[in-house]
Structure formats: structure tokens, C-alpha cells
Chains A and B, each alone.
Chain A
């Protein structure tokens, strides 16, 4: 079954590299980090209790449930033990932890690299294929519609509240428009907001993606990072980065190994992980890491084996060259005498 799926891809890739990318578009392209806004809480989405009743509200609610309990899709669309909220913290609402409200306004996004436009739902598919080490639900599936609806609702509810329109319901959108995203020409703000919210540059809403982090004084080092890891992280994420289950429910997420994000995921890049970790970890922030510690520990967790890049073409160095040439990750590089990716765990959903 697996090989059936992979073969046509390899063939396609040899003959038509651009098409092959369309089959597995590299949607984990780096999003530019942003300097931190003075007020991190300038934007507050509505409380979940304000999700309206009715068909539209049901989609929003379902989107929330899928976002915080993505494990209900394990085996169907999800291959590891993660939930979206493990990285997009506080159910996708936390500024500088790639919140959904800011992301919604940034799609569709044009990507020069492959001359392609990704809409919002396609970007979610990227996280299913890589961060969740799974197989994304199809466009127009109830899952993608629901997660898009939830993201849209977070954005619009927050905007309406921000402009003193607490009593205004979030205008409903049809499934097609929900999946497009707020950067589409067809996207209009409801009457009272139009003209008050600046739409130019909307893809850079403060709080989007991650906050800019200074380069470390010294090059990031996995071996120094290992010490940071045992001191500050292992208590929650485990000695082997395996995370922790409670009553058989995955609670603390795995950082490497078979149950974590795969080699194609955005979090595998040292810079992306460092910015995330510096801002958000250790969870609850009883301790603040230094810039150097954040880079070192990011280098450590991202120089352990994890599931294979789903674009793997059978050859490590050519896959690394094709998809990781410019990124700040360890895929294809040698650490402790082993080429990373050469002993990767299986990619995708395992029976």
C-alpha cells in the first residue's frame, strides 16, 4: 500500500520536478519572524462560550475540538501523538506561537518558489503532512472546513470586540470562502469594521508566527543543548524526548522519535524551534532561557532522529539537497557520526 503511493511520486519527481512539488507542496516554507509588539495582548479572541448556535457555530466548535484534540483523527489523518495546540499554544490563540487569527489574514499567500498560491486550508494540510506526520484531509472535507471556520471566527470575533462591537455576531461565510483565508480579494470586513481596520499589510498582523530572536553569541551546539535539555526540559518531555501520557492520553508532546513531527516540519529547523522555545518554553515560564540556551537546546532536539521527510526520494543526500538546501536544519548532516535522516522512523500513518 505504502509503496504504491510512493512509486508514482518518485517517477513524477524525476520527470517533472514542479509537478512533484505540487503533489507534496513544500508548505513548511519559513515565515518571516516579527519584532515583538509592545502589547502582546492587544488582540484577544472571543471566549468559546460566545460561539453562536446553528450550523456555522457548529463548524467553529468542531474546529476548536479538532484543534485541541487532534488525536481523534489518529490513524486516519494523524500519524503521531501530537495535537495542533501543542505548538499553536492556547488553542491557536497565543501571539508569537503562530496563532490562527493572524495566520488567517495571511492567506492565500503567493509563493515565488513554486509559483503557486496556497490558501488557508492548504496551509493546514501542510501541518497535517509534516507536523502531525499524517495524511491531510482533503479540501472541502468537514475537518478542513471546521478548522478554517474556527480560525476565521477567532480573527473576526477579536476584531469586532477590539472596535467595541461586542454585541455583533461574526458574519457567516460559506465553506469555500472559509477555506480561502482573509487575504483573498473576495474577503471583505463587515460594514462597521470596513474602513476602520487597515487591510494593507494584513499578512503581517502583530503576533503572527514567531517573535524575532537574536542570533546566539556562539554557534548553536547540540552538546551544550543536551545539558540545557536535561536541566530544564526532560522533566516534562522525557529523557528520550518521548513526552508523557496520562491514563493512556498523550499530554506532554514528544520532541523527537517516532511520535514527533517529521523531518519536513517547520519545527525541525533550528531557527524556528529556537524562536518558539525562547518565547514559550519551559511552559509556564518559571525560568527564562538565555538566547544562547534557546538556540543550543533547539539544536539538540533537532539533531535526533524523527520520522522521515515524506518527500524522501530514496536517497538522503539528494532529498536533502532538493528540500533542505537552504534551511537551518540537521537533515542530511552528520552529528555524532550519524547522518540524520539515514535512520529516520517511518513517515506517515503506520498500521
Chain B
């Protein structure tokens, strides 16, 4: 009984705290049009991927890629075209970059790989020339700078991006680095990696 009340009190406290953070980081007006597909805090919806915790640099670069045609998507391309102006784009990117919470951090060597996907993430596969995803996407896939956060990203979206690189439909990654790696992944790897990354919270 007591513990139930305690838990309830904690939940209230939690909600209160979250509310405070929310109030401090009011979404800029320019971000409103994104909510329908990406969610109010960039958490992602069935219409669009998670943006929370991607870096400002990465978000801005991707909008450029949609504008230049290096990436293409019937829902997102027109949105990007409306944000050619950096004045509009910067506050939106900064807002989404500041959302989301850090997952529990695991550095290389800390865990025994629990699955084939985790093994690829932390160790790569030398026989196929695949470097560890960790080398560029970091501990628990938090990302930074030009390297997107993958932790908690939608599984289907992750797999779709890797397939798009394999087919040459997504471009713009510096020095083709992600395309070169995606081409060495098997169809099973791609499914497994999507599920694995989505589950990192």
C-alpha cells in the first residue's frame, strides 16, 4: 500500500519535472509544421522517423540532401524545400537536437555481444571488411556531429535507409562512407540491426 503511494508520488514528481523541462525548451514556431510526422518532441510517428537527439549539424545536412535530391521522399522533400532559409532551419534543428534522453552508455569491450547485430555494432566483421558501427556512431549509438544517433530510431526506418544505400537511392554521406558499409551488409544483418538499434533506450 505504502509503496504504491510512493510510486504514485514519484510519478507525479516525474511528470512535474518533465513539464518543467518542456516549459524551458518551448518549441520554436518554425518547428510546428514538423510535429505531424515527427512528433512534438521529435520522438517520431508512423509518418516519419525520430529526430530527437540527432545533432544540429546532421539535421541541417539532411534537409540539404532532400533539397538537392541526394535523398528523396514524397512526404519529406516538399517540407525540406520550404526550409531552404537557414534562419528558419537553424532553430528547428537546434530544438530537435536538444530533445530525447541519453541511453545507458556502453563502451566497446564492456559487454559480451548478446546477438549478431550487437556483435556487428561493437566489433564489426573483419572477414567482410565491415568496421564496427561503434567506431563512428559511438557508445550505445548516441552519435554526434556528422554521425547520426541511431539509438531508439525506428527499426523499419533504419533498415530502409541501409537498403536505400545499397540500391544507390540515398547519397550525400561524406566520402560514401555509409554506402560502402551498407553494401557489405546482408539482408538479415539489415533487419537485425534495425531491431537492435530501435531497442537501445
Contact = CB atoms under 8 A, between A and B. Distances in A.
Contacts of B126: 41, 44, 90, 93-94
Interface in A58-74: 64-69, 71
A207 B107 CA distance: 28
Interface stretch (A19-27, A239-247, A295-303): A239-247
Interface in B104-132: 105, 107-110, 112-113, 123-124, 126-127, 129, 131-132
Contacts of A244: 144-145
A249 interface: yes
Interface in B122-167: 123-124, 126-127, 129, 131-132, 134-140, 142-147
A44 B126 CA distance: 9
Interface-centre pick from B112, B137, B177 (highest chain A CB count, 10 A): B177
Nearest to B173: A286
A93 B126 CA distance: 8
Contacts of A65: 109-110
A5 interface: no
A190 interface: no
A87 to B, nearest CB: 13
A287 B176 contact: yes
A157 B55 CA distance: 42
B74 interface: no
Contact of B136 (A64, A90, A247, A252): A252
A66 B109 CA distance: 8
Contacts of A48: 112-113, 123
B135 A44 contact: no
Contact of B107 (A41, A69, A286, A287): A69
Contacts of A90: 123-124, 126, 131-132
A197 interface: no
Contacts of A71: 107
A235 B175 CA distance: 9
A285 B132 contact: no
B120 to A, nearest CB: 12
A85 interface: yes
Interface of A: 41, 44, 48-49, 64-69, 71, 83, 85, 89-91, 93-94, 232, 235-236, 244-247, 249, 251-252, 282-287
A21 to B, nearest CB: 34
B46 to A, nearest CB: 29
A48 B119 CA distance: 10
A94 B130 CA distance: 11
Nearest to B108: A68
Given A85-B108, A235-B174, A251-B139, 9 more contacts: A44-B127, A65-B109, A249-B139, A251-B136, A252-B136, A282-B175, A284-B181, A286-B173, A286-B175
A283 B177 contact: yes
B138 A247 contact: yes
A108 B133 CA distance: 35
Contacts of A93: 126
Contacts of B143: 246
A246 B144 contact: yes
A83 B177 CA distance: 22
B10 interface: no
A245 B144 contact: yes
B180 A286 contact: yes
Interface-centre pick from A65, A244, A246 (highest chain B CB count, 10 A): A246
Given A249-B138, A252-B136, A285 B180 contact: yes
A62 B52 CA distance: 36
B84 to A, nearest CB: 23
26 contacts: A48-B112, A65-B109, A68-B109, A71-B107, A89-B131, A90-B132, A91-B123, A94-B126, A236-B146, A245-B144, A246-B137, A246-B147, A247-B138, A247-B142, A249-B107, A249-B139, A251-B134, A251-B136, A251-B138, A251-B144, A282-B177, A284-B131, A284-B177, A284-B180, A284-B181, A286-B181
Contacts of B173: 286
Contacts of B137: 246
B175 A232 contact: yes
A287 B142 contact: no
